[in-house]
Homo-oligomer: A and B are copies of this chain.
Amino acid sequence: MIGNQEELVGPGALSRVTWALRRAELAVQTLKEKRLRPLGMVAAHYTLLMSVHSEPGLIGAELARRLNVTPQAVASLVTRLESRGQLERREHPRHRHVQELHLTDAGREAMHAADEVIADVERVITEALGSDAAGHLRALLNQVTDTVRDA
């Protein structure tokens, strides 16, 4: 019986859910980057701008936790976006050396342009699957996230 399992290790591993998950995420991410490139933007920039847009005044450390990256990575991105005039740091009203992040008008504009591209990618997927299956997929993915998060 052990022998059977041994022989199935190879092919079995390639048909795992986590493998399909990795491939799908990689494919989607690659497409996003490709579509975003003409706008002079990468997915990480879009994600950051979108996050700040949906929660204005977010601070760097909190943003790092939401995006699952290190604070330094956020700082690096923020510095770049700030130098482009798309994002600005403001002093936190209560904590002096804490910085709130806010979008500038240019930042909002860039974000909306990028969001159109991302929304289109989303649309391609949901149309191919059907809105019913797409909703099901989203629910299953969220369940995976919750399951794995406390494992």
Contacts and interface: CB of A to CB of B under 8 A. Distances in A.
A1 interface: no
Give the number of copies in the complex: 2
A6 B20 CA distance: 34
A18 B142 CA distance: 11
Contacts of A53: 9-10
Interface residues of A, number: 52
Contact of A144 (B13, B28, B30, B32): B28
B31 A25 contact: no
A20 B145 contact: yes
Interface stretch (A70-78, A85-93, A94-102, A120-128): A120-128
Interface in A126-151: 126, 128-129, 133-134, 136-138, 140-145, 147-149, 151
